[in-house]
């Protein structure tokens, strides 16, 4: 058995094509002008057959023009079959890609894909003045991510979290992609209420999230219908979930047999158009349900931007009835300028002993950013046009500023919350600078300051002043 020869390289195929063309022309011209003998044509054809790897053995003696023409046709057909086989093999071969977006392994038909991505955030935190918080280095986030597709219908994402004292699951869901206008998502993922909560932590312009995010639910377990229409100018999401407290992830199971319904609509009316308002987006998120129980799985604790708790309920208080959130929100991005804002209200019925009350907490925030080096600002972050170290590039530089407030219902004091340890109102502002060295490496520094109002009969908490720095690697 003869060993199979590899397919033609491009230069060889070109050479053979020219040779075949010359052979054909020469064959017919030999009949007319007798410039080449039959023997010479046969020798040239035999050389081409050997070059193509389709030679069938010893030279044939006494071949005529008809025989040479037949052999030429056979040679051409075999070359066509080889080319078809090469193309089919190339299409079926898996494709491996490694770039700034991570590693991707994709089947030849593109229907099956596995992507490996990751996010690593390390912080240095220094608290100034009279603060009960300790200065520290902190591994804030350590998240590898596996995502991809299983055929044209199913997509998936799995993200564990290894920062902290124990491992946990951040995202674990599957998407049934019937159509871009209607996709069913099942598993654990971010509830569709808060604007900044839905933004990836890798794309935040500040080190920590704003006060408004303290009232929005984070990741929850459930099923959601979502989609985009009108070329992405309108998007929606609506789902049913186990329910989680403000600003936190849901626990692994439903602790009170009650469910929560959440949804969001968002409009980008000028998206894709040549308009100064092309980067305008606005919408409304909301959730409603019931909660019955005590402890951190049912009632929230609110934190400052420095991650210190400034409000908590008394241990004897129960969540006992309806819960409702609603949040108008929006953004505007124009070239290097970015603006993001949201307002959110969280209502919860609570009880202590025989007394019952519906409490309403409110928060808002606005965040502005400007990229000094001219790159576009965006909800999904900044990509430097001249990465550091490549052709003298220095990366991208961005300045940020944020202001926000969170107001606790006065009726929470003193029965449902201790005015000595909890504040009734917080105001916070942050300024910062970001350096995007490459698409994968970011350095961020924030100065943040918060002040508090005391409830009646309470003690005013000291101002919080801190400098946070972060090294972020993402892919």
Q: What value does the CA radius of gyration of the chain take, rounded to a whole number of Å?
A: 33
Q: Could you tell me the pLDDT band of residue 31, with boundaries at 50, 70 and 90? A: very low
Q: What is the pTM of this model?
A: 0.81
Is-contact 349 320, C-beta < 8 A?
Answer: yes
pLDDT, tens digit (0-9, with 9 covering 90-100), for 220-234? 999 999 999 999 999
Q: Say which residue the tokens 């794309």 belong to.
A: 203
According to the model, what pLDDT value does residue 270 have? 97
What is the C-alpha separation between 68 and 43, in angstroms, rounded? 10
466 pLDDT exceeds 60?
A: yes
Is-contact 383 404, C-beta < 8 A?
Answer: no
Region 176-184: what's the mean pLDDT?
A: 96
Mean pLDDT check: name the lowest of 107-116, 139-148, 190-199, 329-338.
107-116
What is the C-alpha separation between 451 and 306, in angstroms, rounded? 12
According to the model, what pLDDT value does residue 188 have? 97
Region 110-120: what's the mean pLDDT?
A: 95
Six token digits for residue 396: 């991208």
6 pLDDT exceeds 60?
A: no
Taking CA 435 as the corner, what is the angle to CA 434 and CA 441, rounded to the nearest 5 degrees? 115
Region 211-216: what's the mean pLDDT?
A: 98
Region 335-364: what's the mean pLDDT?
A: 97
408, burial (CB in 10 Å: exposed 0-12, middle 13-18, buried 19+): buried
Q: Residue 250 to residues 138, 189, 192, 390: CA-CA distances in angstroms?
A: 24, 10, 14, 44
9 pLDDT exceeds 50?
A: no
According to the model, what pLDDT value does residue 196 have? 97
Region 303-317: what's the mean pLDDT?
A: 96
32 pLDDT exceeds 50?
A: no
According to the model, what pLDDT value does residue 132 have? 82
Q: Could you tell me the pLDDT band of residue 131, with boundaries at 50, 70 and 90? A: confident
Region 216-221: what's the mean pLDDT?
A: 97
What is the C-alpha separation between 417 and 410, in angstroms, rounded? 10
Q: Say which residue the tokens 């006992």 belong to.
A: 320
273: how many CB neighbours lie within 10 A of its CB? 12
Would you list the DSSP string of 77-136? HHHHHHHHHHHHHHHHS-EEEEETTEEEEE-TTSSEEEEEEEEEEEEEEEEESS-SSPPE
252 pLDDT exceeds 90?
A: no
390-400 b/e with 16+ CB inside 10 Å = b? eeeeebbbbeb
Q: CB under 8 Å to 36, separation ≥6 — which residues?
A: 26, 27, 29, 30
The mean pLDDT of the chain is 89
354 pLDDT exceeds 70?
A: yes
6: how many CB neighbours lie within 10 A of its CB? 10
According to the model, what pLDDT value does residue 55 have? 62
pLDDT, tens digit (0-9, with 9 covering 90-100), for 196-210? 999 999 999 999 999
Percent of the residues in the chain that have a pLDDT greater than 90, as a whole number:
73
294 pLDDT exceeds 60?
A: yes
What is the C-alpha separation between 196 and 341, in angstroms, rounded? 9
pLDDT, tens digit (0-9, with 9 covering 90-100), for 57-91? 555 555 666 776 777 777 777 778 877 787 777 77
Q: Could you tell me the pLDDT band of residue 13, with boundaries at 50, 70 and 90? A: very low
According to the model, what pLDDT value does residue 179 have? 95
According to the model, what pLDDT value does residue 56 have? 55
Six token digits for residue 236: 């929606």
Q: Could you tell me the pLDDT band of residue 193, with boundaries at 50, 70 and 90? A: very high
């Amino acid at each position: 058995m003869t060993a199979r020869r590899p397919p033609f390289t491009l230069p060889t195929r070109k050479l053979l094509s020219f040779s075949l063309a010359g052979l054909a022309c020469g064959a017919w011209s030999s009949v007319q002008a007798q410039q080449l003998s039959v023997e010479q044509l046969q020798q040239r054809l035999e050389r081409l057959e050997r070059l193509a790897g389709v030679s069938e053995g010893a030279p044939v003696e006494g071949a005529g023009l008809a025989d040479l023409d037949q052999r030429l046709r056979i040679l051409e057909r075999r070359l066509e079959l080889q080319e078809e086989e090469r193309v089919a093999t190339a299409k079926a071969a898996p494709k491996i890609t490694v770039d700034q977006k991570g590693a991707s392994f994709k089947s030849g038909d593109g229907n099956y894909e596995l992507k490996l991505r990751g996010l690593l955030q390390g912080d240095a935190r220094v608290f100034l003045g009279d603060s009960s918080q300790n200065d520290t280095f902190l591994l804030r986030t350590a998240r590898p991510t596996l995502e991809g597709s299983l055929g044209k219908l199913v997509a998936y994402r799995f993200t564990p979290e290894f920062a902290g004292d124990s491992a946990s699951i951040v995202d674990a869901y599957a998407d049934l992609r019937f159509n871009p206008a209607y996709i069913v998502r099942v598993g654990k993922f971010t509830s569709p209420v808060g604007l900044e909560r839905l933004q990836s932590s890798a794309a935040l312009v500040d080190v920590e999230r704003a006060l408004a995010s303290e009232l929005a639910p984070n990741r929850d377990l459930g099923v959601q219908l979502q989609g985009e229409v009108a070329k992405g100018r309108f998007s929606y999401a609506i789902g049913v979930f186990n329910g989680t407290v403000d600003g936190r992830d849901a626990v692994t199971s439903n602790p009170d047999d009650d469910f929560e319904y959440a949804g969001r609509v968002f409009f980008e009316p000028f998206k894709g158009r040549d308009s100064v308002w092309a980067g305008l987006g606005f919408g409304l998120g909301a959730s409603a349900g019931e909660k019955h129980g005590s402890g951190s799985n049912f009632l929230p604790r609110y934190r400052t931007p420095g991650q210190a708790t400034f409000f908590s309920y008394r241990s004897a208080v129960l969540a006992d009835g309806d819960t409702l959130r609603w949040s108008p929100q929006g953004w505007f991005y124009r070239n290097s300028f970015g603006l993001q804002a949201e307002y959110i209200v969280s209502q919860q019925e609570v009880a202590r002993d025989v007394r019952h009350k519906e409490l309403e907490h409110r928060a808002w925030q606005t965040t502005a950013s400007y990229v000094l080096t001219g790159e576009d600002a965006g909800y999904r972050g900044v990509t430097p046009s001249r990465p550091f170290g490549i052709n003298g590039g220095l990366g991208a530089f961005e300045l940020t500023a944020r202001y926000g407030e969170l107001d606790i219902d006065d009726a929470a004091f003193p029965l449902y919350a201790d005015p000595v340890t909890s504040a009734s109102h917080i105001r916070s502002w942050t300024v910062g600078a970001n350096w995007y060295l490459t698409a994968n490496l970011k350095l961020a520094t924030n100065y943040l300051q918060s002040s508090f109002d005391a409830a009646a009969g309470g003690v005013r908490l000291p101002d919080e002043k801190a400098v946070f720095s972060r090294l972020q690697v993402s892919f």
